[in-house]
Amino acid sequence: MMPESARERIAALRAAAKAQRWEEFSRLIRSWAEGNPSAPLLRAGRVVAEAARGGQVTADDILGLKALDQRLLNQIEALASLRAGNHEEARQRVVREIAWGGWEPAWAEALAYLDEGTRDPVKYLFATPHLVVGCILRHGEVTAMAAKGSRMSADSLGHRADLVWAETSRLNERLGIGAVTAIHVTGEDGGWVLVSTGGESPDMATALVAAPPMTDEAAARARMVVAALEAADD
């Protein structure tokens, strides 16, 4: 059931839009987004509100809206596949949603339903197809590593993970970008994933894969590891 506060906010947004009070509409969206700055729908709402009040919409805003369109389409296709009993297609869609930022427990539960391997998050991360190296940090301390025929050792991965996080923390101090919880980089020869809980001594999972199509898979598995670490603290 939707919280009463959310119902009130939606009602206020509808009233402002119906009356074409775009300044008020923009204010309401911005106020809501301040409490959840990473929510894609709220970011999109801010762009729409800015356009409705005659403001400038940047090229980055347009790209953000297109990315949201792709994500919503993927969610719809995931639900359709689940309903049709097409578990392999549904799994691919759910993995993509988690990799793209779907942190809600329902998506993790859906993946666990579709893939029994998620019962052991550590093994699940290290079983990522085309994994080169993987590392898990617990409260900032390395607790598990894996390397598969790579010139980069597991020790060097742990060191690199620490360096990546240190650089991210310094960037955050300078720019105030908030808690960075994921870095997801792809290239022609593979991709690098870092997912964390944020904070000075984060729980973190990192992975490097040798095939670009596997980066979403690695990101989803890393998120499952971090979710398991967070659950263990509850």
The helix (run of H) or strand (run of E) holding residue 117 is none
Please report the pLDDT score of residue 2 as a whole number: 45
Q: How far apart are CA 227 and CA 234, in angstroms?
A: 11
Angle (nearest 5°) at CA 202 between 204 and 38:
85
> Is 68 a domain residue?
no
**Are residues 29 and 122 both part of a single domain?**
no
**Are residues 46 and 121 both part of a single domain?**
no
Considering only CA atoms, which of 207, 181, 217 is closest in space to residue 96? Answer: 217
Q: How far apart are CA 39 and CA 139, in angstroms?
A: 26
More confident residue, 179 or 184: 184
> Is 43 a domain residue?
yes
Using the 3D structure, point to which of 17, 33, 57 is the last residue of a domain. 57
Query: Average pLDDT in the 207-229 region?
Result: 89
Residue pair 40/71 in contact by the 8 Å Cβ criterion: yes
> Is 168 a domain residue?
yes
| pLDDT bracket for residue 65 (50, 70, 90) | confident
> Is 167 a domain residue?
yes
Query: Average pLDDT in the 146-171 region?
Result: 65
* Mean predicted lDDT score pLDDT of the chain: 80
More confident residue, 120 or 9: 120
| Structure-token match 């590392």, residue found | 135
**Are residues 50 and 121 both part of a single domain?**
no
Please report the pLDDT score of residue 108 as a whole number: 87
pLDDT tens sequence across 70-90? 888 888 999 999 999 999 999
> Is 170 a domain residue?
yes
**Are residues 123 and 50 both part of a single domain?**
no
> Is 9 a domain residue?
yes
Query: Average pLDDT in the 167-173 region?
Result: 64
Please report the pLDDT score of residue 63 as a whole number: 77
More confident residue, 133 or 5: 133
Please tell me the total count of domains within the chain: 2
Check which CATH number belongs to the domain holding 216 and give it. 3.30.450.30
Q: How many other C-beta atoms lie within 10 A of the C-beta of residue 147?
A: 19
- For the cut 60, the answer to whether the pLDDT of residue 151 exceeds it is no
Calculate the CA 124 to chain-centre distance. 18
**Cβ contacts of residue 37 below 8 Å, gap of 6+?**
43, 178
Considering only CA atoms, which of 172, 161, 174, 167 is closest in space to residue 226? Answer: 161
Residue pair 12/35 in contact by the 8 Å Cβ criterion: no
> Is 159 a domain residue?
yes
pLDDT tens sequence across 15-25? 888 888 888 88
Please report the pLDDT score of residue 127 as a whole number: 93
Considering only CA atoms, which of 18, 17, 16, 50 is closest in space to residue 33? Answer: 50
| Structure-token match 């894609």, residue found | 40
- For the cut 90, the answer to whether the pLDDT of residue 91 exceeds it is yes
pLDDT tens sequence across 100-142? 877 778 888 899 999 989 989 899 999 999 998 888 988 878 8
- For the cut 50, the answer to whether the pLDDT of residue 1 exceeds it is no
**Are residues 226 and 122 both part of a single domain?**
yes
Using the 3D structure, point to which of 21, 36, 57 is the last residue of a domain. 57
Query: What's the pTM value of the predicted model, to 2 decimals?
Result: 0.70
- Domain ranges, residue 42: 4-57
Q: How far apart are CA 57 and CA 26, in angstroms?
A: 14
